[in-house]
Amino acid sequence: MKIKCLAIDDEPLALEQISIYIDKTPFLEKVALCQSSYEAIEFLSTNEVDLMFVDINMPDINGIDLVKSLANKPQIIFTTAYSEYAIEGFKVDAIDYILKPISYNNFLKAANKAFSWFELNQKQPETLQTTQDSLFVKSEYKLIKIMLSEIKYIESANEYVQIHIDNEKPISTLIRLKNMEEQLPKNHFMRVHRSFIVNLDKVKIIDRNRIVFDKVYIPIGDQYKDVFQAFIDKTFLV
């Protein structure tokens, strides 16, 4: 198992140290380094990570406010030179915090906590069963059948997804969006963003790189643009 990591720190030397430690740890994979909260927000708008190492003391938007602003939060390990910030960090469900200056020993202890969390949560019970034209999901202690043709789009909500269907309230179920994506027929459903899968048969309007469902605008992430553009070229007369 590789845990995809993003490190955020406005101090270049501190960021480089975290980068070296990530590279040194076999179960961690570095996907990006950011020197500001704004840079991190931009990166996270089109990319997925599992774990973030976040410096608390940053200008403009501090690390805690950054984490609070995220709709889909990865797991968090805070880094800080001030121990009094630890309580604030745990209020946003951080896995751990590391005091600066950071030794590799303390870094590894925090990383091992994250590894244990991911190992435990990857064993979550399966809540999805699919047939050729429908799927069954567990929601609020009930097993619900949903016709694939009725699904408009599916939205990630941390460990849950919300399935938006025609003329009904969204249905929430405990499963990761990636697991849902793997089970759905790829000729009808496509991942277009780190937080969204759409039913291609329901795509009728595309407005400035966003898919429009009624009053909902779903952005198309950078890493999904080429595949979605191929769908547009094949389907739409432009």
Q: What is the DSSP string of 195-209?
A: TEEEEGGG--EE-SS
**pLDDT tops 90 at residue 139:** no
pLDDT band at 190 (very low <50, low <70, confident <90, very high): very high
Q: Is 113 helix (H, G, I), strand (E, B) or coil?
A: helix
Average pLDDT over residues 183-190: 92
**pLDDT tops 60 at residue 127:** no
Residue range 96-113, pLDDT digits in tens: 989 999 999 999 999 999
In this predicted structure, what is the pLDDT of residue 6?
Answer: 97
- The model carries a pTM of 0.56
Q: Give the CATH fold of the 3-121 domain.
A: Rossmann fold (3.40.50)
Average pLDDT over residues 28-37: 96
Q: What share of the chain is helix, strand, coil (3-state, %, to 5)?
A: 35, 35, 30
pLDDT band at 205 (very low <50, low <70, confident <90, very high): very high
Amino acid at 148: L
CA–CA gap between residue 79 and residue 182 (Å, rounded)? 35
Strands, E, within 16-56: which ranges? 28-34, 51-55
**pLDDT tops 70 at residue 78:** yes
What are the boundaries of each domain within the chain?
3-121, 128-235
For domain 128-235, the question of CATH label 2.40.50.1020 is answered with: yes
**pLDDT tops 70 at residue 5:** yes
CA dihedral defined by 218, 177, 156, 154, rounded to 10 degrees?
A: 50
Average pLDDT over residues 169-177: 87
Average pLDDT over residues 51-72: 90
**pLDDT tops 60 at residue 145:** yes
Average pLDDT over residues 118-125: 62
